[in-house]
Structure 1
Amino acid sequence: MENQQVLFFQAIKATLPDYQNLALSVAEELGISTNEAYKKIRGDSSLTFQQIIKLSDCFDVPFLYSPKKSLSVTFSYLSVNEDLDMVNYLRNLLDNLKAIKNSKEKHITITTDDIPVFHFFKYPELTSFKLFFWANSANNIEVPFNSAFLSDEIIEISKQLHNTYLEIPSTEIWSKDTITGTLEQIRYAFEAGHLADTELAVKIVEQVRYCLTDMNMYAISSKKTIDPAHTFNWYNCDVLGSISYLVDFKDRMSCYNRFNTFNYLRTEDQPYCKQTKQWMQGLIMKSVSFSGQGEKHRNKYLYHAFAECDKLLREMNGG
């Protein structure tokens, strides 16, 4: 229990801005002295069950405990109702991303066989289509694509998501078919008549190309902005097996596993996160680097990806 309590306070500290003192914040929330708060932070004094609940609710940090020899892992997730409230979903995603960005030390590692959503959010029509496709998948219905699906509020949140991600150091490991998923979604919607406006369909595919061009620019400089702190490493691995996001805060980690097309399971179980990190490091060892000097392999990958985009554009134009 003592070790879990120390880890619990470390997780709380990571959510606080630099100017906010952990002991003072805990003392204020629990109504105890600063000296007693320090004892609890060090593990010299045990938290009561009620105090754990109070701190968890206040700082939105779970207290994780597993019995000895137990292999169970606790995950949390955003519940999405039948109406699929995309605004609420995106705001929750933005809150999580901002918390990561505001942490003193952070790094995101992504393994994916689909282009990470944060790259889409720069482009309104592509964002609109992806959210439309997710909504149809979640509700098991098929309705025509309506560009009005993207409200001004969603456009604004999407821009914030994109800009926030750019400011977080990251490593992305793509599979050889990462580009295929999105293109197949567009192809299916076009052929099924859900994306009936050919001009709009062409624009969406072109925005996929823009995403790839962005990736190329990030990879060339090994950073996502002009700030050298916003590092970017891009790898290609033939076989990945899952879509995972690992956030490394140095003193703790969080892991997000995607499910149900667009949602995610989140855990801060450190043994699980450590195992995930080791798995990702193993993948990197088997991967080809696209960043920096990896120009030859990167160009070959992008040439194939652009060719797939061009093929879809020809199909849409009846070629």
Structure 2
Amino acid sequence: MTLTDNIQSAFLDQVKRRLAPNLSMADELSDILNISRDSAYRRIRGETILSLDEVKTLCNRFGVSVDSLLSPSNEMVSFHYRVVDSKHFTFDKWLKSVLHNLEMLVPFTDKQLIYFAKDIPVFYYFNSPLMGPFKMFFWMNSVLKEEDYQDVPFSPDLIPKELVTLGEKIWRRYTETPRIEIWSEETLNVTLRQIEFYHECGFFANPQHAAQLCDEYILLVREIRSWATLGYRDKPENKFHLYKNDLLIADNTILFRMGDKRVTFIPYNTMNILTTSQEPFCKQTEDYLVNLINKSVLISTTGEKERAKFFNQMEQKIIQLKNRIV
């Protein structure tokens, strides 16, 4: 086997690792590259060399890269990234990409998501009638600087219905996913600061919105607390493990585990996400998160005293903010 065959085989193996178990590699290559099934098999067997255009097409479709295959060591890691902007990768496309990533887990029987949460996972907010639109407005106004959301105070009516619906789909898919979340006593603070900032700056069209957001935040925390008590939402197979971390400052790292496949998501600049499926990096990330879990306190299903103390402190923080703004 030649060096080219080795690289092509390793590259196609990366593609295969991103496919759901029920999909045929040959069928997918045939469809994506617009070639016959027989031609697809020849590429899989290494009898036909992939063209650069074909490699580029597969890289874009599956978020894989040849960089790590050409690198002489694991010190080089290739990431897929998309920058959210107002023209190309717009906010609605970002939401669709989040949903697409979560749906990538669906076909797998053996799957798990690990979320090292600096803020309460954004997916949870999307099921709240005021909090969901508020978070979307905050991102588009204060982070992305979208022209249509400048110099106007927040009102939920400003958020298009299709974005709200998309957010609800993300919430539903996320809460149906078996997951481990690692929180700390600081996890609540990011959104609390955003609410307080908007209140102090007069950025709410209705002055009552700040207090209403606090009320919704309490309901959200209580809902998550109920899931932590049971260890799942709705169905036992939707396992939910919640850990309290007192050791490290969270960074919102997310790891997908799908059988023997791994994908790591690293947020940066608030909205943008670096993604890689490079095995050594994902393995190191998984080891890091598992080590952190082992040093954290499980507060779901067991640890009733710690769970009550933790969530009571969270509710008290929200109440204190509401008392300051009413």
Structure 2 CA distance for partners of 1:285 and 1:157, relative to 1, 3 Å:
same
- For residue 116 of structure 2, the aligned residue among 88, 111, 120 is 111
Alignment gaps of 5+ in structure 1 = none
Distance change >3 Å, CA 45–CA 290, structure 1 → 2: farther
CA offset at residue 134 of structure 1?
1.6
| Deviates further, 76-85 or 113-122 | 76-85
**TM-score normalised over the length of structure 2:** 0.86
Give 1:208-227 correspondences, 5 Å limit: 208-226=217-235
**Contact 1:169/1:231 (CA < 8 Å) preserved in 2?**
yes
For 1:81, the aligned partner's letter is D
- Asked if 2 retains the 8 angstrom alpha-carbon contact of 1:198 and 1:316, the reply is no
Q: Which runs of 5+ in 2 are unaligned?
A: none
Return the match for 1:62 from 55, 61, 64.
64
Are residues 1:229 and 2:237 paired?
yes
Match of 1:12 in 2: 15
Is the 8 Å Cα contact of residues 113 and 255 (structure 2) preserved in structure 1?
yes
Change (3 A) 1:33 1:183: closer
| Distance 1:19-1:229 versus aligned 2 partners, 3 A rule | same
Q: Which amino acid aligns with 1:277?
A: E
The answer to whether the 8 A contact 2:228-2:299 is kept is: yes
CA spacing shift, 1:10–1:205, aligned 2, 3 Å: farther
* Cα separation, partners in 2 of 1:248 and 1:73, compared to 1, 3 Å: same
User: Could you say if the C-alpha distance between residues 52 and 229 of structure 1 is closer, same or farther in structure 2, counting changes exceeding 3 Å?
Assistant: same
Give yes or no for the alignment of 1:290 onto 2:299: yes
Q: Distance in 2 between matches of 1:297 and 1:142?
A: 44
Q: How much has 1:244 moved relative to structure 2? A: 0.4
Alignment of 1:278-317 (within 5 A): 278-317=287-326
Q: Which moved more, 1:246-255 or 1:19-28?
A: 19-28
Q: 1:42 to 1:279 in 2, by over 3 A?
A: farther
The answer to whether the aligner puts 1:26 opposite 2:29 as a matched pair is yes
User: Is 1:203 paired with 2:207?
Assistant: no
CA distance in 2, matches of 1:179, 1:200: 18
Counterparts of 1:88-127 in structure 2 under 5 Å?
A: 88-127=93-132
Query: Residue 73 in 1 paired to residue 82 in 2?
Result: no
Task: Tell me the secondary structure at the aligned position of residue 155 of structure 1.
Answer: helix
* SS of residue paired to 1:246: strand
Deviations 1:185-224 (A, max 9, x none): 1111111111252322211111111211121111111112
CA-based RMSD of the aligned residues comes to 2.5
Residue 52 of structure 2, aligned match among 34, 49, 52? 49
Q: Secondary structure at the match of 2:321?
A: helix
> Displacement, 1:16?
4.2
The alpha carbon displacement at 1:92 in A equals 1.9
Q: Report the number of matched residues.
A: 314
The superposition leaves residues 54-81 of structure 1 with CA deviations (integer Å, 9 ceiling, x where unpaired) of 4334x43423332113522222222222
| CA distance in 2: counterparts of 1:45 and 1:251, whole angstroms | 28
Whether contact under 8 Å (1:145, 1:195) holds in the other structure is yes
